[in-house]
């Protein structure tokens, strides 16, 4: 059960729903959900930004591009003065979480904290960028498959401002943000994902665990194009990227769930959706996610068992047509690659040419996934 004091009502998806949650220790958290623009079958609902009213209060996430001012207005509505906040922490470098950051910081002069990898990937490296227009974009966008016209209309300006910002880096180890408040580095969905543990009573998890949505894992191969930037600190792709890394992050959360079975989970999407609160039982949700990935691997292996296939062909056979429209087509193929990478590592698939697979006859993936996340 979610025990919330409603400060301002939102719409049925939770947009604008400002609520105050009180943990048994007395620590309070305020939700400030801001609008997202993805619609239809890709609707995530708003981005749930949170203020933690600790001794030194701070904000987690800044909403998407264009939401910075709105976030400041919501802070005022919640009775929080931006000057009273110590810093804003970015859960990970996806645009629905840091798009509003530059505007927010311009209005409030808040300090920014984020994972080291975030600080590295929001910068431009014209000499290392893939050939073509990508030299104008920060490293975190090099893998993005949206067309140049989309970039230019929607995000180029925001990326330019973003890379001028100073970031206070948070490393891989638990970092204390206050008494009984610490960070966890949980890469896999994004290489820079951070969660915040609050007095063993609540967890702000970003996009690592969500209700009703399976967070997509990164592909290991994403490391290759940013390897030059990350290599000095992270010489191995598997420490930041891929489905296996994501499953290891889930394992960290599973240990927490065993230790603190009643911990409250504050996800970055759909805490409230379709006119109701979504209470997440952490342990149960983690098992559901693990089973989801086992089933997806199983289905891919079945498809490939019939003969050599590439990621797009597998995606067409695996996903429903509606999910393959527009950018969904590439997102679906990425999911296939991410799962296939794990099965190649387990010996169940062989990559005969780039993103083209044959089955070897073994089915080791299930054991491997259970070992990563059991
Ligand atoms: Zn994300
Ligand atoms: Zn998100």
pLDDT tens-digit map of 104-161: 999 999 999 999 999 999 999 988 888 877 788 889 988 887 777 777 777 777 888 8
- CA 229 / ligand 1 centre spacing (Å): 21
**102, 110 in Cβ contact below 8 A?**
no
Ligand (nearest to CA of 246): 1
Pair type for strands 202-206 and 264-267: parallel
Nearest to 14 by CA among 266, 290, 251, 305: 266
Which ligand approaches the C-alpha of residue 97 most closely? 2
346 CA from centroid of ligand 1 (Å): 27
Q: Write out pLDDT tens, residues 146-190.
A: 777 777 777 777 888 888 899 999 999 999 999 899 999 999 999
List Cα–Cα distances, 142 to 105, 125, 136, 210, 251, in angstroms.
25, 10, 10, 26, 29
The predicted pLDDT at position 144 comes to: 81
* Residue 38 CA to ligand 2 centre (angstroms): 11
Confidence of residue 41 (pLDDT cuts 50, 70, 90): low
Closest ligand to the CA of 192: 1
Regarding predicted confidence, which is higher, 135 or 7?
A: 7
Residues whose CB is less than 8 angstroms from the CB of residue 257 and which lie 6 or more positions away in sequence, other chains included: 263, 282, 283, 286
Task: Note the helical H segments in the chain.
Answer: 68-77, 95-98, 101-108, 116-121, 148-154, 156-162, 222-230, 243-259, 282-305, 311-318, 328-346, 365-373
**Distance of CA 39 from the midpoint of ligand 2 (Å):** 13
Which residues lie closer than 8 Å to 321 by C-beta, 6 or more apart? none
Q: How far is the CA of 194 from the centre of ligand 2 (A)?
A: 13
Distance 96 CA to ligand 2 centre (A): 5
Q: Are 39 and 28 in contact (CB under 8 A)?
A: no
Please tell me the distance from the alpha carbon of residue 18 to that of residue 41, in angstroms, as a whole number: 25
Q: Which is it for strands 28-34 and 18-22: parallel, antiparallel or unpaired? A: antiparallel
Q: How far is the CA of 118 from the centre of ligand 2 (A)?
A: 15
* 193 CA from centroid of ligand 1 (Å): 8
Distance, CA 48 to ligand 2 centroid (Å)? 9
CA distances to 101, 165, 178 from 168, in Å? 14, 10, 15
* Centre of ligand 1 from the C-alpha of residue 38, in Å: 13
pLDDT for residue 195 = 98
CA 371 from centroid of its chain's CA atoms: 23
What letter would DSSP give residue 87? E
Dist CA 245 CA 372 (whole Å): 9
Distance 159 CA to ligand 2 centre (A): 17
CA distance 15 to 11: 5
pTM here?
A: 0.95
**Structure-block tokens of residue 374:** 């059991």
Closest of 191, 222, 213, 231 to residue 92, by C-alpha: 191
Which ligand lies nearest the alpha carbon of 194? 1
How far is Cα of residue 270 from the mean position of the Cα atoms in its chain?
13
**61 CB-near residues (< 8 Å, 6+ apart):** 47, 48, 49, 50, 88, 89, 90, 91, 97, 98, 206, 268
Compute the distance from residue 285 Cα to the ligand 2 centre, in Å. 17
Task: State mean pLDDT over 64-76.
Answer: 95
Looking at residue 204, its pLDDT comes to: 98
Tell me which ligand sits closest to the C-alpha of residue 189: 1
**Closest ligand to Cα 94:** 1
Digit-coded pLDDT (tens) for 208-233: 999 999 999 999 999 999 999 999 99
Using the mean position of ligand 1's atoms as its centre, give its distance from the Cα of residue 17 in Å. Answer: 21
Q: Is the pLDDT of residue 326 over 90?
A: no
């Amino acid at each position: 059960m979610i025990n919330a004091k409603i400060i301002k009502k939102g719409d049925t998806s939770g947009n604008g729903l400002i609520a105050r949650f009180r943990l048994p220790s007395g620590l309070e958290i305020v939700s400030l959900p801001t609008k997202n623009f993805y619609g239809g079958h890709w609707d995530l609902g708003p981005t749930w930004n949170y203020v933690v009213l600790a001794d030194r209060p701070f904000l987690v996430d800044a909403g998407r591009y264009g939401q910075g001012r709105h976030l400041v207005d919501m802070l005022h509505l919640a009775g929080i003065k931006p000057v009273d906040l110590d810093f804003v922490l970015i859960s990970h470098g996806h645009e629905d979480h840091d798009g509003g950051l530059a505007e927010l910081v311009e209005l409030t002069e808040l300090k920014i904290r984020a994972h080291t990898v975030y600080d590295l990937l929001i910068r431009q490296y014209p000499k290392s960028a893939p050939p073509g227009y990508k030299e104008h974009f920060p490293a975190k966008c090099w893998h993005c498959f949206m067309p140049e016209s989309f970039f230019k209309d929607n995000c180029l300006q925001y990326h330019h401002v973003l890379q001028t910002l100073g970031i206070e880096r948070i490393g891989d180890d638990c970092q204390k943000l206050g008494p009984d408040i610490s960070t966890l580095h949980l890469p896999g969905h994004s290489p820079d994902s951070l969660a915040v543990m609050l007095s063993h009573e609540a967890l702000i998890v970003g996009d690592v665990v969500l209700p009703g949505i399976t967070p997509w894992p990164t592909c290991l191969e994403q490391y290759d194009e940013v390897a030059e930037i990350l290599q000095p600190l992270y010489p191995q792709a598997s420490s930041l990227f891929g489905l296996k890394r994501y499953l290891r992050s889930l394992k960290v959360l599973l240990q927490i769930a065993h230790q603190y079975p009643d911990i409250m989970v504050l996800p970055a999407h759909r805490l409230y959706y379709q006119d109701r609160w979504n209470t997440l039982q952490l342990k149960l949700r983690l098992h559901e996610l693990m089973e989801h990935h086992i089933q997806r691997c199983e289905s891919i292996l079945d498809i490939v068992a019939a003969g050599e296939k590439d990621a797009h062909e597998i995606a067409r056979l695996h996903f429903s047509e509606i999910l393959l429209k527009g950018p969904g087509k590439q997102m679906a193929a990425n999911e296939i690659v991410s799962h296939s990478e794990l099965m190649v590592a387990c010996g169940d698939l062989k990559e005969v040419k780039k993103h083209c697979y044959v089955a070897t006859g073994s089915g080791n993936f299930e054991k491997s996934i259970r070992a990563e996340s059991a």
